[in-house]
Amino acid sequence: MLAPMIPLLAGTRILELSAVVMGPFAGQILADLGAEVIKVEPIEGDVARASQPQADGMGALYVNNNRNKRAIAVDLKSQGGKAIIDKLIQRSDVLLHNMRPDAADRLGLSYDAVAAINPRMIYCSAIGFGQRGRYRGRPAFDDVIQAAAGLAGIAEHNGEDPRFIPTILADKVGALHAVYGILAALVARAHGRQEALRVEVPMFEALTSFVLNEHLAAATFKEDGKVGYSRVLSPDRRPYRTRDGWIAVLPYTAEQWRRFLIEAGRADVLEQPWFHQADSRHAHIDYLYSVIAAVLPQRDSATWLEALSRLDIPCSQVNRLEDLLEDPHLRDVDFFHVGERYPSTIKRMLPQPVVFGGVAPQADIPPPPLGEDTRVVLRECGYSEAEITDLLTRGIARGPAQS
């Protein structure tokens, strides 16, 4: 079984004021690593709670991004709500939010305001566009960032219309950048840094870096250099049709290509003078991929996968989303394991995929209902029972039993 919560960050308190995916996904990873994550939601809750499908009042999108957290609901626009947040800031190591900077400023949650309350705070803002550029302040959702960062337009290199990658990629890439930014800041603090530290994670810049990693290509060396990594952009680099389905095949080294071409009955290609040098073989990559496309329909998928595995050539069947639920390797590692604490309505959960040896895991905590921990957290902040009841009654805070 892939590990549940690993207490490597035990003793670290993270105040998460975020919604939907980017902030919550980052917060969940840190919670999976043992940090105490207090998720602060508006009185009406994170909008992801209402996503479909859902059970027990929680949408699947919320469930898959909010385990191992404590949840409180607070009206941030009220004076009493701001007082609660200020107390939590005083008690926390990290503040993580994915609000637009102007919105954070209006709520009194700018970097300067937070640092004035807690001079050692690590302040992480997961935002759309970097604040030094002209796009700062623009609204940003995943589709917008996929378009802006060149990801949607890659298809045009193959003569196709621009299209979005059908997953919330920009948010999740941004979340991973937020995680390593926060972890680096925590290491700096552990090494003696005393003052507050600001971590800005712009989705646009993060995804642009992600996309251009290989596609910067010749522009790396020349001002007028051509962008685009030709091997990846080849129109014949794609899943290949077999006699009865689709598989992925990627001979990469000269030896892998040699073994594949012999198996495919195309040993004649080995006699070409360009085949034996990496640069000239790269120049003929479209032709080599077209050979794969031409020969794979001659056999069924299972036969090809057996032969390619025997020859140690990278390959895989093309899984549909549904196939992953029954994948034998994922079953071996108990990928979709649901902990004992989870309600019976949750049949599968997605694990923290990084495996740590020598650390005893702890049981996961299910994603919390709205305001589940409000009373307890307020009590820890020094509020009396009468004060807590008053805050709940006036709608400044919300507990789990309230409708």
| CATH classification at residue 78 | 3.40.50.10540
pLDDT confidence tier of residue 2, bands split at 50, 70 and 90: low
pLDDT of residue 1 exceeding 60, the answer is: no
Select from 317, 345, 369 the last residue of a domain: 317
Average pLDDT in the 335-363 region? 93
Per the structure, the complete domain to which residue 309 belongs is given by 240-317
Q: Name the domain count of the chain.
A: 2
| Residues 68 and 177 both lie in one domain | yes
CATH of the domain at 275: 3.30.1540.10
pLDDT confidence tier of residue 156, bands split at 50, 70 and 90: very high
| Residues 297 and 375 both lie in one domain | no
Assign residue 247 a region: left if phi > 0, alpha if psi is -120 to 50, beta otherwise?
Answer: beta
Per residue, the 3-state secondary structure of the chain, as one string, reads: CCCCECHHHCCCEEEEECCCCHHHHHHHHHHHCCCEEEEEECCCCCHHHHCCCEECCEEHHHHCCCCCEEEEEECCCCHHHHHHHHHHHHHCCEEEECCCHHHHHHCCCCHHHHHHHCCCCEEEEEECCCCCCCCCCCCCCHHHHHHHCCCHHHHHHHCCCCCCCCCCHHHHHHHHHHHHHHHHHHHHHHCCCCCCEEEEEEHHHHHHHHHHHHHCHHHHCCCCCCCCCHHHHCCCCCCEECCCCEEEECCCCHHHHHHHHHHCCCHHHHHCHHHHCHHHHHHCHHHHHHHHHHHHHHCCHHHHHHHHHHCCCCEEECCCHHHHCCCHHHHHCCCCCCCCCCCCCCCCCCCCCCCCCCCCCECCCCCCCCCCCHHHHHHHCCCCHHHHHHHHHCCCEECCCCC
Does residue 6 belong to any structural domain of this protein?
no
Does residue 192 belong to any structural domain of this protein?
yes
| Residues 24 and 173 both lie in one domain | yes
Q: Which residue has the tokens 């997953």?
A: 167
Of residues 178 and 4, more confidently modeled:
178
| Residues 149 and 17 both lie in one domain | yes
| Residues 167 and 256 both lie in one domain | no
Select from 259, 289, 317 the last residue of a domain: 317
Q: Residues 277-286: pLDDT tens digits?
A: 999 999 999 9
Q: Residues 245-257: pLDDT tens digits?
A: 999 999 999 999 9
Q: What pLDDT shows up at residue 403? A: 43
Does residue 164 belong to any structural domain of this protein?
yes
| Residues 73 and 190 both lie in one domain | yes
How far is Cα of residue 313 from the mean position of the Cα atoms in its chain? 29
